[in-house]
Structure 1
């Protein structure tokens, strides 16, 4: 990762701390108070040892010092407990906020963008990568401020007693952050690579798991197992590289800390042996035992905040690696239909759709169709035909409000990109080729269409969708596993149609609704759809000739263009539609 990118991501991470600024300030304030108590404790301990060893003071007279030490330890323990709680709450709040930002962005860009990546990649982004931000806010940011505050407090306490010890601490302190930064730069790159490998592995594993049946049928299960094993090994190696960098960072910090403390200890040792007689501001008293103990006890505490920062620097590197994908997704300017407009499309019995020079755009701004002009009258039944890639699904997605567009697309006289999309989608009933059934009972899935639906309405919808023949045997409380496991594809399709019927939308969008049904069920479902279509406006993607003959009009698309439109009798003998019919006859034969 480039240094400029790392700097930007670090700045981005710091910008996210605004909601928890008060908690972070409280955390740092408590830690500062703890450092002041530490200086007081050290003064008490050094004084106690000086009185006990050098002045032979009776133990009874030293009791206040012992009490002061105990109170100091208790206060510091309490502060440490409070800091841990505050730090955890900081990390938890930021994780929730960033997850909400990701969810809002996913909701904004819609399924057209989400389907561009494996589901496992999104799961990794929402879970592991956001989780890697926790310690950055819980530990690293407070420690970054404390690494400057605590050493200054200790220097202020040490310098009046011994300026040499103060200079040793002052000039050796920069060695730790310098080497910490050098090791941390490499650690950040390793963490970013680790996050990328994890996201890839998550997507691969979930996709292979979903396609396990197909892999077994084509005898490729063992091959894909080896592929997953290799990807897992790559992730293991990457993780070990990250850990090696973390351990290297800790070893470097411990080494220079030990050397620095040893220099202070050697100085005081030679002072007490009479080899050194400078360092104290008072020439009369010289270097006392109190000063030696005070400085030596505080020396490790002087480097401790820097050492802790070095330990948490790994959390900084992990956060930057995780933030790369998070910030990229959140900040990418996808072109979307904004859902926060306040114009409401009139909720009538059916809708009228008028498109003029309609150009469908991808979330990246790429044109997916040529200018389209068509009119769907109220309560009309329109078929949309064309080969794969002609732009049919793109047109459905723009009607659902999932893709942006140029030109004009009016629903009951209201421009769609100026309408309240949430209110508009409540008027739509949709059935796709591969309907999604959630884990739960059959009845719970049906109630997604209308949570207020009565048992009688459910029974009518199941009958119209020709689904009652199997729901009668297994019951509406039968459990459906994740992905529709437990029922056949055809049964799932009929349940999806029943769910759409319960919704009673003013616009019915059908994307090959009978693609997974046998001939008998297909005929029955189409008959049911024909009956309910009389009260709704319907747009259906289909290749069945029987469906086309019953339509009020047919829209024919080719390579993103609307090349023909009209009744079946008008189109069957001419142009591209005649070619599609001929191809359909050949496929059936």
Structure 2
């Protein structure tokens, strides 16, 4: 990974630590108290053993020391428990904050932005990558402070007793962080590649799972299994690379800590044998000094070893932070930013009038999708958008829904759309797409989504308008009929009509329809269109459709081609003039003729 990028990600991670609250400082405090209790414990044990073995004092002489030592055991256990709880709480608060920020950002950017990446990739970011930040805040950041304070405190205690032992500790201490850095240099890059492989696998698997019927029909099952196997193998290799680094780091740290303690033990051993005679300030080395220093030696290196162990958590967090930082700091077009409370709230009692002047719909990265367009949707008028696939019809609807930025002017009742309070604006819209989205719950939950307090009779009236009440009443649970994930429990046509009932419940002044009858048979289609005409009798409407036979009831038709309006007029007017609309009509007639011939033969 580029060093400048790594520094940038590390800085971003440190900036987020305020989300941990005081629990991060509490973790450090409990860690310091644990370190001090270890020093006191080593002092008590050394004093007792020196007195009993060397001074040959009776054990009763050290009654107070024994009592303090026994009391220290549960105190240390409580401090360790409190440190773990505080560290977990700090990591939990951070994860909640980051996850909330990610979801808020996705809501701000809108569905048009989200569709640019597979669902599995978003799941990886929101779940896996946020989760992998935990140890950086719960363990690594507190350990950096502890790795400085505890060894320094031990050196302050040891140097007055034996300068040679203190010098050995001081000299060997840098070996552990030095080799930790050398081993961990590639860890962040390995973790970043691992997350990239996981996101790829998640998105790949989710897409194939959703499209399984299509894959089976076209006999692509075996080929896609191999694709998933390839993505899985790449993820396995990345994971093993990360684990190799983690195990290598731990082995190196343990080795150098063991060697350092061994050097200290050899020094005291030779000193007691009389082969070495320095470091004791001329007073000799007592058993107390040797035991005290040797018991503190592992605790001197332990914070450094722990920091080395948790250095992997830093590398893991840096790998996870790359996509999170890119998402959270993503700056969309200024016009795409959601208006929070404080935007203009329209008076909807007079209906809706939309005037677009030189309107250019933009993507989130600044590319032009549609335009420039100019049109006028008058109060109570019904306008249809037709044109070839890719001409920009859905992009225009997304702009009207407030999901895409735009240049030029797009006024709703005389106010620019970008200046409106989006939440208030959307409460007066009814939107029905070609791909109905029902949520896990009941039929009632889905229909009454905008108004959960709606009475059952009102829900049934909406279902009746959408021509789906008979189906609901046939179910044993009626309105409580369960709808599972991915709309299991209902057919696509039934889902479309339940979504229509939900849209009708908005009592909207503006209907935005994107192929509202795409999944229905001809009988249901006519019933739904009839329900829509009744509901929209006092409302404005902008409908995208490919079914030209539905257009005779529309006031105006806008024909789009390559992002521009190439024709406009009523159904009869467009039929009389040469152009794209008449060509589309002729193409439909040719297809219908071919179908009739095929059925007759």
TM-score normalised according to structure 1 size: 0.97
**The 10-residue stretch of structure 1 (227-236 or 428-437) with the greater mean CA deviation from structure 2:** 227-236
Q: How does 1:496-575 map to 2 (within 5 A)?
A: 496-572=499-575, 573-575=577-579
- In structure 2, the residue matched to 1:256 is 256
- DSSP-derived class of the 1:16 partner: helix
Q: Secondary structure at the match of 2:480?
A: coil
SS at match of 1:534: coil
Q: RMSD of the TM alignment (CA)? A: 1.4
Separation in structure 2 between the aligned mates of residue 19 and residue 530 of structure 1, nearest angstrom: 52
Residue 53 (structure 1) shift:
1.1
Pairing 1:119-158 to 2, within 5 Å after superposition = 119-158=119-158
Partner of 1:403, secondary structure, is coil
Structure 1 stretch 181-190 or stretch 19-28: which is displaced more?
A: 19-28
Q: Which deviates more from structure 2 when the two are superposed, residues 167-176 or residues 526-535?
A: 526-535
* Mapped partners of 2:164, 2:21: distance in 1: 38
Distance 1:461 1:290 in 2: 87
Give secondary structure in 2 for the equivalent of 1:370. strand
Correspondence for 2:297 among 299, 308, 325: 299
Map of 2:244 onto structure 1:
244
Compute the displacement of 1:513 (Å): 0.7
Whole-angstrom distance in 2 between the partners of 1:124 and 1:116: 15
CA distance, structure 1, for counterparts of residue 459 and residue 98 of structure 2: 40
- With over 3 angstroms needed to count, the CA separation of the structure-2 counterparts of 1:113 and 1:523, relative to structure 1, is same
> Which residue pairs with 1:435 in the alignment?
436
Match of 1:69 in 2: 69
User: For 1:309-350, what per-residue CA distance to the aligned partner results, in whole angstroms no more than 9, with x for missing partners?
Assistant: 111111111111111111111112122232224211212252
**Deviation (angstroms), 1:39:** 1.6
Aligned counterparts of 1:76 and 1:193: Cα–Cα separation in 2: 40
5+ unaligned residues in a row in structure 1: which ranges? none
Which residue in 2 is equivalent to 1:469?
470
Q: Which residue is equivalent to 2:368?
A: 367
Residue 448 of structure 1 aligns to a residue in which SS? coil
Aligned to 2:287: 289
Q: Measure, in 2, the Cα distance between the counterparts of 1:489 and 1:18.
A: 47
Matched, 1:402 2:400: no
Unaligned runs of 5+ in 2: 594-601
Q: If the length of structure 2 is used for normalisation, what is the TM-score?
A: 0.95
Counting only pairs closer than 5 Å after superposition, residues 148-547 of structure 1 correspond to structure 2 as 148-281=148-281, 283=282, 285-335=283-333, 336-340=336-340, 341-348=342-349, 350-474=351-475, 475-547=478-550
| Alpha-carbon distance, 1:439 to partner | 1.6
CA contact (8 A) 1:382 1:555 kept: yes
Taking the aligned partners of 2:195 and 2:540, their CA distance within structure 1 comes to: 47
CA–CA distance in 2 between the matches of 1:21 and 1:530?
A: 56
Q: Deviations over 1:388-444 (max 9, x none)?
A: 111111110011010111111111112110010000000000110010011222122
Partner of 2:597: none
Q: Separation in 2 of the partners of 1:196 and 1:211?
A: 23
CA apart distance, 1:574 = 2.6
Q: What secondary structure is seen at the aligned counterpart in 1 of 2:383?
A: strand
Q: Deviations over 1:288-322 (max 9, x none)?
A: 21111111111111000001111111111111111
Comparing 334-343 with 539-548, greater Cα deviation is found at 334-343
User: Does the residue aligned with 1:538 lie in a helix, a strand or coil?
Assistant: strand
SS at match of 2:322: helix
Residue in 1 that maps onto 2:12: 12
Three-state SS of the structure 2 residue aligned to 1:476 is: helix
| Partner Cα separation in structure 1 for residue 41 and residue 500 of structure 2 | 75
What is the distance in 1 between the residues matched to 2:377 and 2:92? 50
Moved more, 445-454 or 541-550: 445-454
What is the rounded CA distance, in whole Å, between the counterparts of 1:483 and 1:154 in structure 2? Answer: 61
Deviation at 1:561, TM superposition (A): 0.8
Residues in 2 aligned to 1:165 and 1:472: alpha-carbon distance in whole angstroms: 85
Equivalent position SS for 2:434? coil
Report deviation, 1:72: 2.2
Aligned residue for 2:114?
A: 114
Inter-partner Cα distance in structure 2 for 1:463 and 1:25: 60
- For 1:35-56, what per-residue CA distance to the aligned partner results, in whole angstroms no more than 9, with x for missing partners? 2222222112111111111110
Contact 1:349–1:535 (CA<8 Å) still a contact in 2? no
Alpha-carbon separation, structure 1, partners of 2:59 and 2:366 = 82
Hey, what does 2:587 align to over in structure 1?
Answer: 583
Residues in 2 aligned to 1:306 and 1:537: alpha-carbon distance in whole angstroms: 69
Whole-angstrom CA distance in 2 between matches of 1:92 and 1:535: 51
Contact 1:508-1:539 within 8 A present in 2 as well = yes
Q: Distance in 2 between matches of 1:302 and 1:66?
A: 24
